[in-house]
Amino acid sequence: MFTPNKTYSPYVSPFDPCKPIKIKSYSTPPHLYIGFQPNNFPQFTPMEALRAGTLWKPLYDPYYNPRELAKGGKTS
């Protein structure tokens, strides 16, 4: 199943002097979930494609800072 953001729980040592990070997250690019280019793949207009950095709508993957999302920042 395609989920762009994944999380995991790293090992937390009882002897670590720093405050532990209990949950870490990372992003996966959408092209990992598309095996081949299907017919009639949705496209951006040329101006939208220049802004998005890709011609293909399913391959568009904007970056959202996790700290900004936690503060209630931009989500879409």
pLDDT tens-place string over residues 14-56 = 998 999 989 988 888 888 888 887 888 899 999 999 999 989 9
Q: How far apart are CA 5 and CA 58, in angstroms?
A: 16
Burial 10-28 (b: 16+ CB within 10 A, else e): eeeeeeeeeeeeeeeeeee
pTM value surpassing 0.75? no
Per-residue pLDDT tens over the stretch 6-25: 889 999 999 989 999 899 88
Using alpha carbons, select from 62, 58, 53, 57 the residue that is nearest to residue 34.
Answer: 58
Dihedral-angle region of residue 53 (phi above 0 means left; psi in -120 to 50 means alpha; beta otherwise)? left
